[in-house]
Amino acid sequence: MLGLKRRASKRRKSMVREYSEIILMAVFLAFFVRTFFVQAFKIPSESMEDTLLVGDFLFANKFVYGAKMPFISKRLPAVRDPRPGDIIIFKYPGDKRTDYIKRCVAVEGQSVELKGTQLYVDGELQDEDYAKYFHGSAFGPFTVPSGHVFVMGDNRDNSADSRVWGPLNKDLVLGKAMFIYFSWNGNRHRVRLSRIGNIIR
């Protein structure tokens, strides 16, 4: 009888160890994927309307710009740098903790100027069917310094962006927005089914 109890106790310990190893491996894989490849983000404000709505949940590709290594100020090699038109997630320069999302409109060396509701980059008028204006404003011309990009919200009159706090240091960039995996309309308390799976452009 004592032998049966010992064998049962060993089996329980073996099962506990096995499940613990599975859980630890799952946590490690989740941390690895989140750190170097893909991370989920939620849209908290109206600054990217109508491209992205409050309550949209999206995945960002962290690999393309070179993911940051945890605990050290190093990055993996990037596939490429941010380009004009990319929607990027980054740490807000003001506190370097809060996640922000905006559209890159110009890169280092380029000149940016906003005249009313028309955006010019290097003197050329940009075709921006995604941009939303109520009144328009004036900004620039401004030349983006080395190591930086210039970002703006698509909802141009309702966005605190590089026009307010300056060009964005590329070291603060986290990733490129990919697609919406869930969307919740908080005002109507329902899921926006038509937005799920939308590729972000």
Burial class (CB in 10 A: 0-12, 13-18, 19+), 178: middle
φ/ψ of 191, rounded to 5, equals -80, 135
| Cβ contact 113:140 at 8 Å | yes
Please confirm, yes or no, whether 5 is among the known catalytic residues.
no
Q: Please identify which of the residues 62, 102, 132, 170 carries the catalytic annotation.
A: 102
Count other C-beta atoms under 10 Å from residue 171's C-beta: 13
Count other C-beta atoms under 10 Å from residue 28's C-beta: 10
Please confirm, yes or no, whether 176 is among the known catalytic residues.
no
DSSP-derived 3-state class of residue 184: strand
| Cβ contact 26:53 at 8 Å | no
Q: Please identify which of the residues 47, 159, 162, 183 carries the catalytic annotation.
A: 47
d(CA 140, CA 152): 13
Residues assigned a catalytic role: 47, 102
